[in-house]
Amino acid sequence: MQKNRPVNLNLMTIRFPVTAISSILHRISGVLLFFFIFFLIWALHKSLQSSDAFDHLKTSLGQPWAKLLCWVFLSSLFFHFIAGIRHLIMDLGFGEGKKMGRINAYLVILVAVLFMISLGISLC
């Protein structure tokens, strides 16, 4: 084995295909959803404690940082759902080709971005 082969560790110089970007974003959204579970369980616990705790949580969720967290959660949930549906359809044998896979990946990203924009406008 040759020891002096080139090594490229700078990920910013590598051009990823859109299918890889869609797959990586699907994994990142899954990780975000996993970590948001803890926040959602905490919020459920607080809301069920007492009416005062519920009112405090309600006013806290009106803050800009909480709206941003809600936007990130709902955006990652929607993207993960849409990309998951894409993967399930591909598992059934539809759109497995290189061209259709690229088109599906662009479509998933486009629909998710449009949803994120509309969700951001509605949360403001």
Average pLDDT per 10 consecutive residues for the chain, totaling 124 residues: 72 86 96 96 95 95 94 97 95 91 96 97 92
* Three-class SS of the chain: CCCCCCCCCCHHHCCCCHHHHHHHHHHHHHHHHHHHHHHHHHHHHHHHHCHHHHHHHHHHCCCHHHHHHHHHHHHHHHHHHHHHHHHHHHHCCCCCCHHHHHHHHHHHHHHHHHHHHHHHHHHC
Domain annotation covers residue 22: yes
**Would you state the pLDDT for residue 2?**
65
> What pLDDT is stored for residue 1 in this prediction?
63
Report the CATH number at residue 78: 1.20.1300.10
Confirm whether 111 is domain-assigned. Answer: yes
Is 13 part of a structural domain of the chain?
A: no
57 is a domain residue: yes
Count of domains observed in the chain: 1
> How high is the pLDDT of residue 72?
97
Is residue 6 assigned to a domain? no
Domain membership of residue 102 as a residue range: 18-123
Residue 112 lies in a domain: yes
Which pLDDT score is estimated for 50? Answer: 95
Residue 8 lies in a domain: no
Whole-prediction pTM = 0.85
- Predicted confidence at residue 118, as pLDDT, reads 97
